[in-house]
Amino acid sequence: MYRPNVMKKHICNDWFTGLSFASYMRRDLNKEDLDLFRELADAYLQYEQSEPVVRPIAPADLYQHLDLSLPEESVERSLFVKALRDLIMHTPRTSSRRFFNQLFGGRKSESVLGELLSVLLNNSMYTYKVAGPMVGVEKVIIREVCRLIDYPEYADGTFAAGGSLTNLMAMIMARDAKDPDCRHRGVQADLVIYTSAESHYSIPKNASFIGIGRHQVRYISVDNKGRMLASDLREQIERSIEEGMRPCLVNATSGTTVLGAFDPIDEIAEVSQAYGCWLHVDGAYCGGVFISDEYRHLIQGVSKADSFSFNAHKMMNASLVCSIIVTKHPNQLYDSFANEANYLFQTEVDEMNLGKISLQCGRRNDALKVWTLWKAIGRKGLSDMVSKQFYLADVARDYVRNHPDYTLHNDDTSVSVCFSYKDIDPESLCSQLNEQGILLVSHGSFRDQHFIRLVTINAGNSAEDILAFFGALEAFVSHGYLPK
């Protein structure tokens, strides 16, 4: 029989008689596991150095190769440790100096520290009651971002689990601003979204989520460097109006996914404003340049945007995932995302109850890992990281330009260096480099050109690492590559 008073007394007795605070805590996070973490981390980091690329397990062999099965009874500790060790050692090493595959990479120790502490503290960011000073941590970051992009004092923002979701939040705000009643009755107006042909796929995907529909997305043409043409934007908006539709949102991209190109925000803002559209700047990839004195000019005009988002897990090298959105219309954040919930929001200060402006209910603390990083190395340290990323891209471009077997396919203001080597098919070269455990790098295309995309986002890399990339690629083509 359940007797609450007795239970309570039992816990209190336990507390006071003999058990130290630390040993009490060890009942749910024990020393054995912490020691194991340390041991696995040491081993993993060593392998990351000596074997920066793991040979992938073919998907068809996965369950034979690793013991991923879930047992009925607890397993012996040694078997558990072995299964865990095998699992992590076979996982692709995304922080190594040979990983150039995606738009994130490397590891900032200060950020990892914050992330580990977030896991330990396990707060949820929805209320001040539960997150306490972590609310301040998030607010301070939002405020600094707003200040650095010249947003007004009253601007506000929040974090979400990735750039696709901060884009979603921007798109919901744009929709609600144009058609406020849609929050109750569903979308009534014929709303249209404009984005460049080179923008991220989350834009059409989100268009379907928010009831506007994929067919209501207009793809604006780009110039030969992959930047949106403001003239085509104007034409397409006018065409929509002639067809009786309502222009709603213009999405500009700072760092397009393939080429790393920057749309001309100033020109786009002028068109967007002329037709009363919400302007969002998707800076998931390279919006982080706002932190840099040297490269901030690439997002010139961002202060005119209604909302701006960037991924701290890309240019800031923070741990995955960490995406931030800010807006000049804090009321729209509330209007679109607040819902009354008396069981949750029980304190008075709404401003500190971040759940009122977020997409989710429970939300993990993604702010601490940015705060620890920023606090430790300062804005200038972050700015130096951005300079380093562009420097590494310059090293790669110089190499490509000075070696006749290579062709460069994109612009100088990018941390994605797109190139081809001899007449080799980029797709088959990239997959063989991965299969043989040599390099993790990806390929892409623009217009009719197909190329390898080397991403120099890992600020922990050196010029030697970039040159080693080309050395490894060339050696592989000479000795290991099997032409298709």
Ligand X SMILES: *Cc1c(COP(=O)(O)O)cnc(C)c1O
SS3 state at 393:
helix
Tokens read off for 273? 């404003």
Interaction between residue 114 and ligand X (CB under 6 A): no
According to CB under 6 A, which residues from 219 to 258 bind ligand X?
A: 253, 255, 257
Specify the residue, 103 or 177, whose C-beta has the smaller distance to ligand X: 103
Shortest CB 414 distance to ligand X, Å: 12
Interaction between residue 280 and ligand X (CB under 6 A): no
Which range touches ligand X (CB under 6 A), out of 120-128, 223-231, 279-287, 443-451? Answer: 279-287
Specify the residue, 104 or 345, whose C-beta has the smaller distance to ligand X: 104
Question: For the stretch 90-113, what's the b/e string if a residue is b when 16 or more beta carbons lie within 10 angstroms of its beta carbon?
Answer: eeebbbbbbbbbbbbbbbbebbbb
SS3 state at 11:
helix
Burial class (CB in 10 A: 0-12, 13-18, 19+), 199: buried
Maximum CA pair distance of the chain? 82
Specify the residue, 103 or 368, whose C-beta has the smaller distance to ligand X: 103
Residue with tokens 């995309």: 453
Which range touches ligand X (CB under 6 A), out of 156-164, 365-373, 406-414, 416-424? Answer: 156-164
Among positions 163, 204, 226, 444, the unique one binding ligand X when judged by CB under 6 A: 163
Interaction between residue 318 and ligand X (CB under 6 A): no
Which range touches ligand X (CB under 6 A), out of 12-20, 110-118, 148-156, 281-289? Answer: 281-289
Shortest CB 44 distance to ligand X, Å: 24
Which range touches ligand X (CB under 6 A), out of 160-168, 228-236, 377-385, 437-445? Answer: 160-168
Cα gap 394→461, rounded to integer Å: 13
Shortest CB 8 distance to ligand X, Å: 45
Cα gap 264→281, rounded to integer Å: 11
β-strand pairing of 246-253 with 191-196: parallel
Contacts of 352 (CB under 8 A, 6+ apart): 127, 128, 135
Residue nearest to ligand X according to CB distances in the complex: 163
Burial class (CB in 10 A: 0-12, 13-18, 19+), 335: middle
Among positions 151, 159, 285, 469, the unique one binding ligand X when judged by CB under 6 A: 285
Specify the residue, 103 or 271, whose C-beta has the smaller distance to ligand X: 103
Among positions 100, 101, 103, 336, the unique one binding ligand X when judged by CB under 6 A: 103
Edge-to-edge strands, sheet with 99-100: 99-100, 440-446, 449-455, 416-421, 406-408
Count of chain residues binding ligand X (CB under 6 A): 16
Find, among 284, 297, 280, 55, the residue nearest to 163 by Cα. 284
SS3 state at 424:
coil
Among positions 155, 250, 261, 321, the unique one binding ligand X when judged by CB under 6 A: 321
2, containing H or E segment? none
Which range touches ligand X (CB under 6 A), out of 45-53, 125-133, 161-169, 424-432? Answer: 161-169
Letters for 173-212 (x = contact with ligand X by CB under 6 A, - = none) are: ---------------------------x-x----------
What is the contact surface with ligand X in residues (CB under 6 A)? 103, 162-164, 167, 200, 202, 253, 255, 257, 282, 284-285, 311, 321, 323
